[in-house]
Amino acid sequence: MADLQVKSIRPKLWLTALFALVVVVLVQLSQQLAQNVPFTALQPLVTLYTPFALALLLAAVGAAAPRALQVLVLTSAAYACGYGLSVPLKVLLLDAAQAWELSHEWTVVLSRFSVLGYITPLALLMVLKRPRIHYIAWGSFTAPIQFPFIWYGIRDPMWRFLLIFAVVVTVSFSFFVDAERIGPLLGAALGFAVVNALLEELLWRGLVLSRLADELGPRLAVVAAGVAFGLYHYSIGFPWSICVLFALPGMIMSGVTVRSGGLLPVVLMHIVMNVLFAFSGLIFPR
């Protein structure tokens, strides 16, 4: 029986690796193609058509795949399509910010609505193929969680885990925060924190994690979604080294989502981190 379970989960692990590979390759491939196109006018077209071509290819593979593997392939296709939608949406948002003469900080805030491009096809896939496990819910602040390893460690209620996390992260980042920038950046930092946290949590924990948990089980899904979440940040402009580091909080936030059963606890957790990132210069460079 154990051998049978291993054999049944192995193809899904390979397809989960495929999803992570799509996350990594898609941005790099489209950017390289755009840079190598000789005519500047064609660059947006190449950047746009590359993910849609990849999405169509994955959708064709998914249609021919065994039923047990179709959803993971289609999830990769939906993500690729989402990237294709987010590119022109971000261009429109940046043009709007320029027309409205927004500051650099508020331009960054507005640009985060481009995440809606990713959310749209994945949400449509969820409507068409609703997973048995999903985390689009409020979540519980009294649900048990183990500190510090989610399933292993000291048993605590969710609210205490979040409080300890907030204190540790705040103290750690206090060495990098420029106190003189807090006042001028307060509005933009809070705006970025709320918008980014709500949209990214809906995308990565509400849609992607739900799908992976339904196909792989919650624990493997926490690792897979966390790694993909970290690598996704390359598309925002972070270097690969930072993206790899972001995989760890991605796993922690995925674990919080699974144990709480919803998004509100992890949204608050994400907001705290985003505010600290903004004040430390990671989001709004000095």
DSSP lists the bridge partners of residue 156 as: 145
Phi and psi dihedrals of 266, rounded to 5? -75, -30
Task: Return the SS3 of 148.
Answer: strand
Residue 11: what pLDDT? 63
Cα distance between residue 280 and residue 217, in whole Å: 36
Say which residues have a Cβ less than 8 Å from residue 64's Cβ, sequence separation at least 6: none
Question: What is the per-residue pLDDT for 80?
Answer: 85
pLDDT given at position 3: 40
Residue pointed to by tokens 């969710």: 158
Chain-centre distance for alpha carbon 159: 23
Query: Which residue is it, tokens 């507005």?
Result: 110
CA 284, CA 277: separation in Å to the nearest integer? Answer: 8
- Name the stretches of the chain with pLDDT < 70: 1-50, 54, 62, 65, 67-68
Contacts 24+ apart (CB under 8 A), 176-182: 176/280, 176/281, 177/276, 177/279, 177/280, 178/279, 178/280, 178/281, 178/286, 181/279, 181/281, 181/284, 181/286, 182/279
CA pair distance 93, 110, nearest whole angstrom = 7
> What pLDDT sits at residue 188?
95
pLDDT of residue 71: 81
pLDDT at residue 4, as a whole number: 37
Q: What is the pLDDT of residue 2?
A: 38
Backbone angles phi, psi at 140, to 5 degrees: -110, 135
Task: Report pLDDT for 112.
Answer: 95
26's tokens: 């898609």
The distance in angstroms from the start CA to the end CA of the chain is 58
- 145 backbone dihedrals φ, ψ, rounded to 5°: -150, 150
Please say whether the beta carbons of 225 and 217 come within 8 A.
no
Question: With 0-12 CB in 10 A as exposed, 13-18 as middle and 19+ as buried, what is 131?
Answer: middle
Closest CA to 282 of 256, 257, 245: 245
Single pTM value for the model:
0.87
